[in-house]
Amino acid sequence: MGFAELFVVAVGLSMDAFAIAICKGLSVEKVENKHLISAGLWFGGGQAVMPLIGYLLGSSFRSAIESFDHWLSFALLALIGINMIREARGEIEKLDASFSAKAMFPLAIADSIDALAVGVTFAFLEVNIIPAVLLIGVTTFLFSAAGVKIGNRFGAKYKAKAELAGGIILILMGLLIVLDHTGIL
C-alpha cells in the first residue's frame, strides 16, 4: 500500500472523529486552543494506537488466512464504511461541552474501534505500520481540531457529510484491495 492509498485510508478513518469533533464544537460557547488540542490528541491518539493493536493481533494469525485475507480486508472495511454511512443518515448526536478525560476517553475509544479492524487489514497487507499509524494519527489530529472549530462556527451541517464521505472512502479502499489481490487491477 503506497502513501496515496494510506493517506486516503487515514482521511477515511478521520471522518468519524471529524464528525464527533464538529458536535463537540457545537457544544461549547467559545472555542479555545485547548479544545482543539484536546480533541486532536484524544482522537488522533486513539486512531494511531488502535491500528497498531490490530496490526499486532492480525500479524499473529496472518499465515493461517493468507489465501482469503483480501476478502476479509474488504469485508472489514465495507462493514465499517456501511456503518459510517448509516450513522450519517441518523440524528445529530448531542454531546456535552466537557473536554475532560472522563468525557473524551470513551469517545476516542468508540471512535477508534474501526481503526482496530483497519490495523488487522494492515497486517494482512504487510503495511509498514509505524509510518501508517503516524500518518493516521496526524491526519486525525488535524481533522479533529478543524472539526471543533468548524462545528463551533458553522453548526451540524457538515457532520453527516463527513461520515458519509468517510464510509464511501473505506468501502472503495476495500474494493480496491480485492481488485488488486485478485489481479483485476
**DSSP string across 39-100:** HHHHHHHHHHHHHHHHHHHHHHHTGGGGGGHHHHHHHHHHHHHHHHHHHHTSPPPP--S--S
Cβ distance 94 to 23 under 8 Å? yes
Q: Give the pLDDT confidence of 143-175 residue by residue, as tens digits.
A: 999 999 998 887 656 667 776 776 787 788 778
To 10 degrees, the CA torsion angle through 61, 64, 66, 68?
-110
Q: Give the pLDDT confidence of 4-50 residue by residue, as tens digits.
A: 889 999 998 898 888 888 878 887 888 999 999 999 999 999 999 99
Longest pairwise C-alpha distance within the chain = 53
Mean of pLDDT over the chain: 84
CA angle 135, 84, 174 (to 5 degrees): 60
pLDDT for 78: 78
The values of phi and psi at residue 78, to 5°, are -65, -45
| Cα 133 to Cα 152: distance, rounded to the nearest angstrom | 28
pTM tops 0.85 = no
Q: Give the pLDDT confidence of 89-104 residue by residue, as tens digits.
A: 775 555 567 898 988 9
